[in-house]
Structure 1
Amino acid sequence: MWQLFNLFAFIVVVIYGFWLFYRVLYARYTYIKLGKDPNLEKNTKARWKSIVTFVLGQKKLLKDKKSGVMHVFLFYGAILVQFGAIDLIGKGFMMVNGWYLPVPFYHFFTLSQELLVGSVFFAVLFMAYRRYVEKLPRLQRSFRAGLVYWFLAPLMTSVIVAGGAEMVILHEDATIYKPFSSFIYFVIHNIPTNEAYILFYAAWWAHILLLLSYLVYLPQSKQAHEIFAIVNVYYKRLHSPGKLSTISFEDEEQEEFGVGKIEDFTQKQLLDLYSCVECGRCTNMCPASATGKALSPMRLIIKLRDHLTEKGEVVAPHTTPWAPGHIFKDPASVGLPSVLARQEAVVTTDGATALKPLDELQLIGDVITEEEIWACTTCRNCEDQCPVTNEHVDKIVDLRRYLVLTQGEMSPEAARTLNNIERQGNPWGINRKERANWRQEREDIMVPTVKETKEFEYLFFVGSMGSFDNRSKKIAQSLVKIFQKAGITFAILGNDEKNSGDSARRIGNEYLFQQLAKENIANFQKYNVKRIVTIDPHAYNTFKNEYPEFGLDAEVYHHTEVLAKLIQEARIKPQKEVKERITYHDSCYLGRYNENYDTPRLILKSIPGVELVEMERSKQDAMCCGAGGGLIWLEEKEGTRINVLRTEQALQLNPTTIATACPYCLTMISDGTKAKGVEEDVKTLDVVELLERSLV
């Protein structure tokens, strides 16, 4: 009779648990479907490779070795231990017959399950230690953040308690194949069999109820990444991260551009929100967050996710007989956040606090602040660290597009920069006819324009920094000198050169970017340009990854790539000693955007006398100088200056020179050495300038 009741209760609880799980999961699906069609690339092979690399291989998680290794144990342990759960469930119905899962070498299966349970349990303890005892700054310490531990630890405990009680019931002896259950057996082996039965079924039902409760809790919490992250990784961006989405301006009746409502994001962007692990790795590496700015990439994702959930419950179509939504109608009562509760309180113009209905909440302003949006340097350190391949930068740029193109709202510096680029083709508003004057400032170089020479191997795209900025002009001049020594034929566009449009696009003026792109490409085609070289990683990225969509058909090189090739081919030979202790600062747009970490270092290592030392944050982990995303043209008003913090990181190595391969970075690091009062002792040079010093 007991067995029938037990079976009936089990079936009812399981069906109800899975029904609740379905309701919540389907709700999230309908919320994601509110977004626009993502128009994803079709490449099944590449997508499955992503699953192998980032899900099965846990590549991003292992960037933090301690947490990564523990998560590997937790990830695989939690999956494989489910086979033991099947075994345990079966024993709950067939205990009197000594039933066990019919698998080969059952003793070894039992041992593996016990070890898996132990590894998961200790992984949970270690992760709780890192969160609440070690107190890693990137980890939240709320009850909700650690709720998963209160599910998993008792869940694993219930397995070994049931195992120990089973050994008493079946009169088994302690065995090496059940190390943890045997420990429980030693504690309880003297209790009567009837009490052992009670203990077994108490642990058995605790296991079932905890498992189903966790199943229902999972989609409503940060643990939703266990479901959505796998899908998110599969549909991750396959094209270069340096390519932003393109807005079509063909519809003359369209009045809004960018993202002003949560539904304006694509479905893939909304999928990112439910995939977030809340691990804080993105915020931990964010230069804006590190220097006291409003932006925290993790908080930005969380706020967007919570807003989507709350709004989705109001506007999502209910296409099933059961209204999908929160099982817990008051999320805060179970430790879950409520955007409605957090965001309803709005300060009015007279300083009073008023409640604003959900349908009146503005995505920009009430959910995400403008300060957060404009703090981003687009360095992609957040994306590089994210274990579930979330993409933060494109969301921020889409929000900027709405502010700039739809609302016309931006800082005076941003408006002035865009206006100058539109009128004179450079951010300062200097007369466009002065663009080629830099070539006359050094007598030992000859710089032909495309109108002055018919044949050339490379078009040297100087860029606005190299053309107008007094310090950056020296980079362009050094490159020209080396080209002359190597016999490289090249030409510049001269006064016909226009701004690349990188800053315009990342500030949010997509229309101006597209206009500049089309005009530049027309110029390239007019002079039959086949190869482009530039000293500017931002222009390099834009030409290489974004211009092809608008018709560019040319090879694009950063100057370090060409110089490294010349050294390898022995067309130039560094011979003079340059006795400098150098640390190299990686440009975000050369490094993380285009994975070029080696060519600048190859150049520096080829120079006699150079001692190259690496900062703690270098290559993929290198911190941004603060200039990206158009922020070089804007005033930094919050917190400490990003370039000063990056300079401090470099100065820890006691270098005599800080080298860069980007005029933006050079400007920011130079300003950093001045701010620290060490500009007389620590030089800031581009790698091409150092290379020129070494040539005979």
Structure 2
Amino acid sequence: MARETYWGITSVEYATFYFLAFTAIAVFTYGVYRRFARYSQGDDDSFARLNDLPNRIVSSAKIVLSNEKQFNRDLYGGLMHSFILWGFLTLFIATLILMAEEYAAQKILHMSFWDGDFYLAYQFMVDALGLLFVVGIGMAMYRRYWVRNHRLWGRHTSNEDDIFIWTLFALGIGGFLLEGLRIYSAGIPDHEIVSFVAYGMALSFDAVGLPTMGAEQAGLNGAGFNVENLHWLAWWSHSLIAFFFIAWIPYAKPFHMISSFANVVTRDEKAGKRLPNVPSDLDATNAESIDDFTWKEILDQDACTKCGRCSSVCPAKSSDRPLDPRNVILDLKSYREDLEAGGEEKPIIADGGTSVINSETMDSCMACMACMDACPVEIEHLKSFTRLNRQQTDQGDVSSSMQDVFQNVMQNGNTFGDSPRNRGDWTEDLEFDVTDAREEEVDYLWYVGDFPSYDERNKQVARSLATILKEADVSFGILFDDEKFDGNDIRRVGEELLYVELAGHHVETWEDCEFDKIVCTDPHSYNTFKNEYPELNFDEFSDDPMMPFEYDEQWNDDGEIDVYHWTQAVEELVEEGKLDLSGTELDYTVTYHDPCHLGRYNDEYEAPRELIKATGCTLDEMPRNRSNSFCCGGGGGGLWMDFEEEPKPSEERIREALEDTDAGSGIEKFVVACPMCMTMYEDGRKTGDFEDEIEIVDVAELIVEAIGKADEAQVEVAAD
């Protein structure tokens, strides 16, 4: 029970085979070297990417081998990629075993393990996983060419995609054909049944009477048509295709087999929720040329497989804004490769058609992180996008509406342009006084935020939350006119210096207050306080006369100060028995929208849901929920920009609530936990003509109604 490895191959062909093998491997090695040498020319990355490398490799291998990201929202795609990956790896390992048998076992150890049970087990595994490989390739072809899945087609779809998939198919089918011919030529021995696919092919050759050299088929043999010659032809065809594929890997799409794994190994677990540090030399953060991108951002470009998962979940693209996350990454890659081939330089981002990326494209990004969540190879889109936004802002190419927001924040500390003295006016309608956290020690330092402080609809939410905290009998206070805009969204638009000013002001103000925890109304504030303020090196800016602070330490780098979204804090109060929601029975059928900055950014999905359920409401989940939630359209500066889009993300989301949930039109209230979401959905309810069909409420408003304090909180929603 064994076989001859190089059956039917002459000594000259044997030498030719290994010459070609050496050449293919040399071309492959050189190509990989050039790729990684290019990464070394990229700028240093601001985050540690290679620390704890052994654990990184182990965890990355688990992610890659399990295909867990491929299964995310796409069972078909997950199975397809799993079959291809596991089959390819098995066939690769089988080839290594052949090499070990030929050189280590026979030539050095003068023995062979290519015999007996090992041989039978080897043949069975190769056939079984090889079959999965071919099935996976077939599934990919069906999706690409028959279904023509929209994700796979775009301006970066090219011949290399076709060559890649057809080469893999040829390798898979060619391997089975080669084995089938060998088994047939050997007389179809019984033990070869373990190679069940090839064995079946051999039986089919026998059924059609394929001639052998020893058979008395003079006419056919005279023409050279026999199984031995077919085996020779199949052997060399298979070998040449394999050599071509090996040599081609570093120069085209197949390189993702290497770059994708490297990208997963070097991923930042906090990617998106925190952005690269702001150095005092802000030019280092911009994108004046392709050389300004870090080695990790270049690796991101090479890791892209053109799968289109990011594009399919992008709310900007679905609203016909001029943004396709895949195209941005691949446009940067194409420009880099064009420059390396001697092409002309052009602006990375600008208005008009002469730049690599158009300004309007990046204006469209909502910074919702859906693209990153969907990406199976951990591309950090938002990191590159923010670099582009920084360059855009530095050039003064931001929209006039965003320039107005910057001006309002610089002059008044808020995005509304209202007086800082009016920031605490919303408290005046409460039946109790709200503590000034600058003057008294409190348990909760409550950062209220711009919209709950100045926007009339969101003031009702602020009063609801204040009523809840009062009912729970916890000490809380606010900063009144010393509170400013948190800076999260203007940072994502690219205004870094203003962000540093705001952060420095807040941490310096907090240092003068006595409190245990920071509680935020807005998930955007929660994210930037929790994940980004601790990253800032304030010492680099403390001596800058333009900065309105002298703070020169690293704030909360040890995580000593807990930062909460208010739903998390109130859920704790309920669990501790300080807020009694037992027995509350609101008879509403509601659905809940996961805010991007609370959900995808910070993996908090349960606290708002637990509070909604505790009020007695029937919660009917949106089809797109939790990490798959669809952005309201307000993030990344979208709240302050005007787009001609149809439908608006907020309108599409409300339609989804009324038509695609199980309860459908029976949904009475659309529940949010973010002031920006409240603003966007109130607008979408009007522009989408949903005013008579559904009400937009915050979780806090449900709670105050459940505990019978709605009148005190003055949360009656105005009809208009």
Give TM-score scaled by structure 1 length.
0.88
CA pair 527-240 structure 1, distance change in 2 beyond 3 A: farther
Measure how far apart 1:40 and its partner are. Answer: 3.6
Residues 1:119 and 2:132 aligned together: yes
- Written as runs of structure 1 = structure 2, the 5 A alignment for 1:247-646 is 247-249=278-280, 251=281, 257-314=285-342, 358-360=344-346, 362=348, 364=350, 365-405=354-394, 407-440=395-428, 442-451=429-438, 453-550=439-536, 551-553=554-556, 554-574=561-581, 575-608=583-616, 610-646=617-653
CA distance in 1, matches of 2:474, 2:116: 71
Equivalent residue of 2:41, what SS?
A: coil
CA contact 1:572–1:695 (8 Å) conserved in 2: no
Which range moves more in the overlay, 271-280 or 545-554?
545-554
What is the number of equivalent residue pairs in this alignment? Answer: 643
Equivalent residue of 1:241, what SS?
A: coil
Which range moves more in the overlay, 109-118 or 612-621?
109-118
CA contact 1:439–1:446 (8 Å) conserved in 2: yes
Measure how far apart 1:198 and its partner are. Answer: 1.6
Measure how far apart 1:102 and its partner are. Answer: 4.7
CA pair 678-693 structure 1, distance change in 2 beyond 3 A: same
Measure how far apart 1:90 and its partner are. Answer: 9.5
After the TM superposition, list the runs of 4 or more consecutive aligned residues in structure 1 that deviate by more than 6 angstroms: 87-94
What are the Cα deviations for residues 354-396 of structure 1, in whole angstroms up to 9, with x where unaligned?
A: xxx5134645552111121111101000100111100001111
Measure how far apart 1:66 and its partner are. Answer: 1.2
- The match for 1:71 is 81
CA pair 256-231 structure 1, distance change in 2 beyond 3 A: closer
Equivalent residue of 1:146, what SS?
A: helix
Task: Calculate percent identity across the aligned residue pairs.
Answer: 28
Equivalent residue of 2:188, what SS?
A: coil
Measure how far apart 1:51 and its partner are. Answer: 0.7
Measure how far apart 1:197 and its partner are. Answer: 2.1
Measure how far apart 1:134 and its partner are. Answer: 2.0
Question: What is the aligned counterpart of 2:262 among 212, 223, 231?
Answer: 231
Equivalent residue of 1:672, what SS?
A: helix
Structure 2 portions without partners, runs of 5+: 1-7, 106-111, 215-225, 537-553, 709-720
CA pair 83-202 structure 1, distance change in 2 beyond 3 A: farther
CA pair 657-49 structure 1, distance change in 2 beyond 3 A: farther
Residues 1:657 and 2:669 aligned together: yes
Measure how far apart 1:270 and its partner are. Answer: 0.6
CA contact 1:128–1:149 (8 Å) conserved in 2: yes
CA distance in 1, matches of 2:594, 2:297: 28
Measure how far apart 1:263 and its partner are. Answer: 1.2
Equivalent residue of 1:138, what SS?
A: helix
Measure how far apart 1:691 and its partner are. Answer: 0.8
Equivalent residue of 2:441, what SS?
A: coil
Give the residue type in structure 1 aligned to 2:614.
S
CA contact 1:560–1:599 (8 Å) conserved in 2: yes
Equivalent residue of 1:532, what SS?
A: strand
- Written as runs of structure 1 = structure 2, the 5 A alignment for 1:676-691 is 676-691=688-703
CA distance in 1, matches of 2:122, 2:440: 76
What's the Cα RMSD here?
2.3
Measure how far apart 1:110 and its partner are. Answer: 0.8
Measure how far apart 1:302 and its partner are. Answer: 1.3
Measure how far apart 1:161 and its partner are. Answer: 1.5
Give the residue type in structure 2 aligned to 1:169.
S
Which range moves more in the overlay, 588-597 or 672-681?
672-681
Give the residue type in structure 2 aligned to 1:448.
T
Measure how far apart 1:176 and its partner are. Answer: 2.7
Question: What is the aligned counterpart of 2:202 among 185, 188, 192?
Answer: 185
Measure how far apart 1:518 and its partner are. Answer: 0.5
CA contact 1:456–1:490 (8 Å) conserved in 2: yes
Measure how far apart 1:644 and its partner are. Answer: 1.4
CA distance in 1, matches of 2:406, 2:55: 38
CA distance in 1, matches of 2:502, 2:273: 17
CA contact 1:225–1:277 (8 Å) conserved in 2: yes
CA contact 2:275–2:532 (8 Å) conserved in 1: yes
Question: What is the aligned counterpart of 1:50 among 59, 72, 85?
Answer: 59
Equivalent residue of 2:519, what SS?
A: strand
Measure how far apart 1:89 and its partner are. Answer: 7.7
Give the residue type in structure 1 aligned to 2:344.
L
What are the Cα deviations for residues 34-59 of structure 1, in whole angstroms up to 9, with x where unaligned?
A: 31011442233652353134212221
What are the Cα deviations for residues 295-318 of structure 1, in whole angstroms up to 9, with x where unaligned?
A: 11111111111222222344xxxx
CA contact 1:88–1:204 (8 Å) conserved in 2: no
Equivalent residue of 1:183, what SS?
A: helix
